[in-house]
Structure 1
Amino acid sequence: MIDLSNNENTLIKHDFKSIMNDYDLMCKYPCDSEYLLKEELAKKHNVKSNNISLGCGSSDIIYRTICALNTRAKSENKELNLIVPMPTFDLVLSIAKALKVKITYIYLKDDFILNVNDIKPLKNSYNLIYITNPNNPSAKELSQNDLEYLCSICKDNTYMILDEAYAEYNANFISIKKCQKNIIITRTFSKIYALAGLRIGYAIAENKLLSFIDEFILIDNINAYALFCAINALKDEEFVNKARAMTLENKAKLEQVLNELDIFYFKSNANFILHKIKSENYHNFMLENGVKVGRKIHNYPLFNRISVGNIEELNVFFKALKLAKEKDLV
């Protein structure tokens, strides 16, 4: 069974043998390592180290943000309104539902385009806008104008998490000015840096906002091995460039097969592709043929997302996909 459902980077591996044999990392708490990683991230993003918060994956930071804003809203007898374009990263919805947070869904158009003007914060509430850019699962990116509009409405009690998990896959990625008021940018080492199993991500924001969010942090929430691997990965620009190039190469092979089979798909700036299917039975059929594909997409049952895996994984996928085509499932 191969798993192409989670957009992991399986194309290139790090060599961290020397780190794994470091006894001091095993027997000491990781607080000094956290400082070192924050310093490296601050240099990379041209901010101060107190503008960086680390998490056990970026999902940890998303969770803390929702908890913090929900608590503040309740303390003022208000509600937190989570505004999410749909479809989106499912974990955000799970957290909101568990905390009984109000959710306002902004449904994308058939071409998966988000009209940012549809996002209207509620008065007399706290609002948290959650945006993935590039979008997950379409891999479409927001324009400079869209980003400027979103930043303009983040004031007073309206906040935004701008989740840039896949930003590094586009060398020309458009982001926003760092540390703007009420905006938290999240990034991760799980994707292009190929450290998904170590669970480490980070946020960039104003120090005052991060201090508030980090009231909900668990002490030493990241282990020392993850921290040192992240520090070494961050310094290895050649690794990122090579991973990006290999992703582009394998994505082109994936697009070629989709074209040959006449399967509609969206062009992608990330390490996954969203493509059309004809039947919801597609997921189970692919599982039976040794491939775990992307989750079923809320409100878009006839689309599926596939990760750009290594060539061995893709060859298994291509074989199963051709069988699915013969069964008229795609």
Structure 2
Amino acid sequence: MQRRDILKTSGLLFGSLLLGGLPSALEAKPDKIIKPTQQNPLILDSNENSLGMSPKAKEAILEEIPNAFRYLRYDEHTIWMDLIETLGTNFNLKKENIILGNGSSGTIHSTIQALAAKATQAKIPIQLIVPELTFELAQYYAKPLNIPIVKVALDDEMNFDLKKMHQSADNFKGLSIVYICNPNNPTGTITPSTKLDKWIEKAPSNTFFMIDEAYGEFVQDPEFKSATNWIKKGKKNLIVIKTFSKIYALAGLRIGYGIAMKDTIDHINQFAEVDNINSLAAAAALASLKDKVFFQKSFKSNQIARKMLENTLNELKIKYLPSQANFLFYQIKGDLKTYQKRMKDSHILVGREFPPYLNWNRISLGTPDEMEIFTATLKSFRKKGWI
């Protein structure tokens, strides 16, 4: 559901709340979906949570609407402070270790700006080191600041080549920003913590790690451990970036956060937008953190959907990467644009291009019922010789 739809629906429903009783529209929508059409396609292109947000998050939004004419306040005993304190407690850290942002993108943006300013002030060069195939937003924000971008090719198994990334940082006489998306988008694969930790532990202060864990809550592989452990150890040249867009299904409300040492947070906060989150998003995020039942429902639904898709891809002998996220990266026959068009003609929206892997596609894991529709479409494509 998009933000404008939430507000429109919430505004209508608030009146019925005053008349008594919680309206049925607030209850979790059923998992069953109707067959997609041109007007209502099956949307599997942006790694959203098709379950929709927690019912408790919807309730929290409605409860907060009467206060929405006020600016969000930043003193104690407010939703903003309650959210920051809850996040700090959940990670066994303090509120000073948390920064909120307009989705994870807001924190990525302000971090890039803060580090660019630091390099300018110190009169040293700066570079951004990224894997060749990863989420592009850090690069998007670095370009207007004229920060050189060093792209390091994946290894033969399509994993990050940490050794070459490490070398790029060591050989640079300046500040290196290292962007690590873990699990990676679009591959869905993880970088084992033992491998990453070896670099982080010995990295000098002029190597700064941006660890994007937008999909961390979906991971089952024990080789993954959140990099927040380094903040507990006092590591200052690192920030972990997370979001409420994925497992919590608040993508349209645009709320995320960063976790780092207090000095790091204080510096980045100087470059964050004022009032960068809204009261409805804060209320929904806080309610979502407390709704453990919905969290488990999202996690289990994603597991089932992933297994369904893997079974179909195995049956069709289609190559794919082992995903630990809420999407999967698989190889297609022919070029992606043709595949996208054929899927769109079948009323299914699939993922965008990720150069240079133009014969691969990223597909979001919808609900199990949505994946039934998608896997049936894949099988029909095979019969036509399209995949």
Common fold, TM-score beyond 0.5? yes
* Structure 1 equivalent of residue 26 of structure 2: none
Identity in percent? 36
**Counterparts of 1:43 and 1:82, CA distance in 2:** 32
Q: Residue in 1 aligned with 2:109?
A: 63
After superposition, give the CA deviation of every residue in 1:269-294 in whole Å (9 maximum; x if it has no partner).
11111111121121222122211111
SS of equivalent residue, structure 1 residue 284: helix
- Superposed, 1:151-190 pairs within 5 Å as 151-171=200-220, 172=222, 173-176=224-227, 177-179=229-231, 180-190=235-245
Whichever residue aligns with residue 45 of structure 2, its letter is S
Q: Which has the higher mean CA deviation after the structures are superposed, 81-90 or 93-102?
A: 93-102
Read off the aligned partner of 2:197 and give its amino acid letter. E
Structure 1 stretch displaced more, 140-149 or 267-276: 140-149
Distance 1:91 1:113 in 2: 19
- Aligned ranges 1:40-51 → 2 under 5 Å: 40-51=86-97
2:48 is aligned to 8
What residue number does 2:10 align with?
Answer: none
- 5+ long unaligned stretches in structure 1: none
CA distance in 2, matches of 1:162, 1:168: 14
Counterpart Cα distance in 2 of 1:212 and 1:21: 34
Q: Secondary structure at the match of 2:90?
A: helix
In structure 2, relative to structure 1, the CA distance for the partners of 1:212 and 1:66 (3 Å cut) is same
Q: Contact 1:155 / 1:181 at 8 angstroms: preserved in 2?
A: no
Would the aligned equivalents of 1:131 and 1:160 in 2 still touch at CA under 8 Å? yes
Q: Secondary structure at the match of 2:320?
A: coil
Tell me which residue corresponds to 2:145.
99
In 2: Cα distance, 1:282 partner to 1:57 partner: 30
Once the two structures are superposed, the pairs formed by residues 1-330 of structure 1 within 5 Å of their partners are 1-11=41-51, 13-15=53-55, 16-31=58-73, 32-119=78-165, 120=167, 121=169, 122-171=171-220, 172=222, 173-176=224-227, 177-179=229-231, 180-280=235-335, 281-330=338-387
Asked if 1 retains the 8 angstrom alpha-carbon contact of 2:61 and 2:281, the reply is no
> RMSD between aligned alpha carbons?
1.7
Quote the Cα distance in structure 1 between the aligned partners of 2:259 and 2:217: 15
How far the C-alpha of 1:80 sits from its partner, in A, is 1.8
Counterpart residue identity of residue 7, structure 1: N
Work out the CA distance in 2 between the residues paired with 1:123 and 1:227: 40
Deviates more, 1:146-155 or 1:246-255: 146-155
TM-score, normalization by structure 1: 0.94
How far, CA to CA, are the matches of 2:281 and 2:154 in structure 1? 36
2:64–2:283 Cα contact (<8 Å) kept: no
Matched positions, count:
330
**Shift in Å, 1:96:** 1.6
TM-score (norm 2): 0.81
State the AA in 1 paired with 2:373: V
Q: CA deviation at 1:132?
A: 0.5
Residues 88 and 94 in structure 2, CA contact (< 8 A), matched pair in contact too? yes
Query: What code does the residue aligned with 2:116 have?
Result: N
Q: Deviations over 1:286-316 (max 9, x none)?
A: 1222111111111111111111102343233
Q: CA deviation at 1:263?
A: 1.1
Match of 2:23 in 1: none
Bigger radius of gyration among the two:
2
Structure 1's 8 and 129: CA in aligned 2 closer, same or farther, altered over 3 A? same
Of 112-121 and 218-227, more deviation after overlay is shown by: 112-121
Measured in 1, the distance between the counterparts of 2:277 and 2:355 equals: 32
Could you tell me which runs of 5 or more consecutive residues in structure 2 were left unpaired when the two chains were aligned: 1-40
Deviation readout 1:2-31 (Å, 9 max, x if unpaired)? 221111111354222353243443122223
